[in-house]
Structure 1
Amino acid sequence: MKIHEYLNRLSVPAEKNPDLKYLTQLQQSHMESIPFENLDVTRKVPIELDVDSFYEKIMVRNRGGFCYELNGLFQLLLSELGFQAHLISCTVKKPDGWVREDSHAAILVSIGHFPYLVDVGFGDSVRQPMPLSGEEKSDVSGSYRIKEIGKGIFNLERMENENWKTLYRFSDKPKQLHDFAEACLFNQTSPESHFTHGDLATIATKNGRVTLAGHIVTKSVNGQKEKLELNENEIREYLQEQFQIKI
């Protein structure tokens, strides 16, 4: 992996000190520079759990990816920059239950003796490292906290309608990329996977987010949303214009 090319795409300079301020800058810039997208899944292009493939897709071809690709590559970058970082597995909460267990990949980063959840592969979510201490953090996407529910088991929560809503549950146990092989295949092929039901591309902006889901574009600016419907030709143009993705 060419670190300087990666940092150039993030518009972040190389730093010698792997501290919390630098980690925050890297995460925010990543979410504003590289989209979360499932366009290979819906076009039945196989996604292999290989960081060289991730790098070629995301850096060389200027694409995005889903959690294994984005967090898999970002975890490697963080490690090469001197951070103590490892992958972890998460189980996403749905309104009526949970998705496949341990099928989402995120990152745990230790700064000194303090662990932080970092996730650049979950779409509309927190844009800064989240301490596992329970301290609340807020950004343009909302207010968040992490609640410990058992030894080494935590919930990432977001405030919605004056109540804390669980986004996903995770363990602090280190995982390797290959541990997600079955989940990666499931998310690419199963009709039960959210990712097989239509195109999705989403990217953070300084004051909101832009999301293409199917034929619908949703633009969020300072909490205000507007929607736009596109036809097939307009979708291709929009992907290239808004996300710099050429299909």
Structure 2
Amino acid sequence: MNPSQADAYLRRIGAARPQHPTTEALRELHLRHLRTVPFENLSIHLGEEIVLEEERLLDKVVGRRRGGFCYELNGAFGALLTALGYEVELLAGRVYGDEGRLGIPYDHLALRVRTADGADWLADVGFGAHSHFPLSLAERGEQTDPGGTFRVTEAGPDPAGVTGTAGPGSAAGGADLDVLRNGGPQYRLETRPRALADFTGGAWWHSTSPRSHFTRSLVCSRLTEDGGRLTLSGRVLTTTAPDGRKETREPATDEEVLALYREEFGIEPAVVPTVRQRDQAS
């Protein structure tokens, strides 16, 4: 990413260029990203190709002012942080699903970010409702955040009976890590650094498989200025207050749905996205 691209990205999220790669600046960038760049899976249902290459991600997030899912959002954010002087590694995760089962390999992409003071942080702007600020990768106790109470712990046996694995080259000692929110496991994180291209298979599966929740539903969501969340699921808009109270409404016309995408998320699809039908046997 060149300096002009970094400046354009910073304008996209309404942030000033930090003078140094500090923890304070990282927290600010993380929060502003969550507020301005939506977590969304519209490309899957609009027939748009998802390509995990830096230039393509920058074109989507910055040039076209879109959002994306974890591979795109954290991939692009990681490139920005690198351009700003942070040390960044891409980490692979597996999301806990029904009955505590772990998802596929390369199920999720998150970031390990080292700041100027040598601290390691878990930055994740691509997991929907999650922490508003980066989490300390060294801290094993509770970490209080506006998004909940989080813990980063060394992983034990997984639901299939396989223990956490060591990853060569890990900066965190090699053991897999479990990320918990309000006492519940969110995802298991490898600590071996990966390349963006390593996540191509996971992105393809989530974009095409009828078993992926991304192919079965539409979502566009972002953090609000007051710490709540605004989510458009199909045609239903849910406003979640910081205290968890929810209000829903369903626009009556396509024009109203398109206005919500435009006014609340800054996205201007030509047509109202709908869930694409897929062969359930594939």
* TM category, shorter: over 0.9
The unaligned stretches of length 5 or more in structure 2 are 156-163, 165-173, 270-282
Structure 2 counterpart of 1:217:
237
Structure 2 counterpart of 1:205:
224
Q: Residue type matched to 1:115 in 2?
A: D
Poorly superposed stretches of 4+, deviation over 6 Å = none
CA change 1:45–1:232 in 2 (3 A) is: farther
| TM-score, structure 1 as length reference | 0.94
The total of aligned residue pairs comes to 243
Q: Residue type matched to 1:122 in 2?
A: F
Structure 2 counterpart of 1:68:
71
Q: Residue type matched to 1:210 in 2?
A: L
State the SS of the aligned residue for 1:98: coil
Q: CA RMSD in A?
A: 1.4
Query: Contact between 1:107 and 1:118, CA under 8 Å: does it hold in 2?
Result: yes
- Deviation track 1:28-69 (CA, whole Å, cap 9, x = no partner) reads 010001001000011221101111111111111111111111
CA–CA separation in structure 2 for the residues paired with 1:53 and 1:185: 16
- Deviation track 1:155-182 (CA, whole Å, cap 9, x = no partner) reads 11011xxxx1000000111010000111
Structure 1 counterpart of 2:132:
127
CA–CA separation in structure 2 for the residues paired with 1:232 and 1:101: 40
State the SS of the aligned residue for 2:249: strand
Query: Given the alignment of the two structures, is residue 244 of structure 1 paired with residue 266 of structure 2, yes or no?
Result: yes
CA–CA separation in structure 2 for the residues paired with 1:123 and 1:95: 17
Which residue among 210, 229, 236 is the counterpart of 2:250? 229
The unaligned stretches of length 5 or more in structure 1 are none
1:162-181 aligned within 5 A = 164-181=183-200
CA–CA separation in structure 1 for the residues paired with 2:153 and 2:250: 38
Query: Contact between 2:41 and 2:220, CA under 8 Å: does it hold in 1?
Result: yes
Which residue among 89, 92, 96 is the counterpart of 1:93? 96
- Deviation track 1:179-227 (CA, whole Å, cap 9, x = no partner) reads 0111111011000111111221000012200011122211011222111
Which residue among 13, 16, 30 is the counterpart of 1:13? 16
CA–CA separation in structure 2 for the residues paired with 1:134 and 1:167: 15
Query: Given the alignment of the two structures, is residue 43 of structure 1 paired with residue 49 of structure 2, yes or no?
Result: no
Structure 2 counterpart of 1:136:
142
Q: Residue type matched to 2:181 in 1?
A: R
> Which range is displaced more, 223-232 or 197-206?
223-232
| TM-score, structure 2 as length reference | 0.83
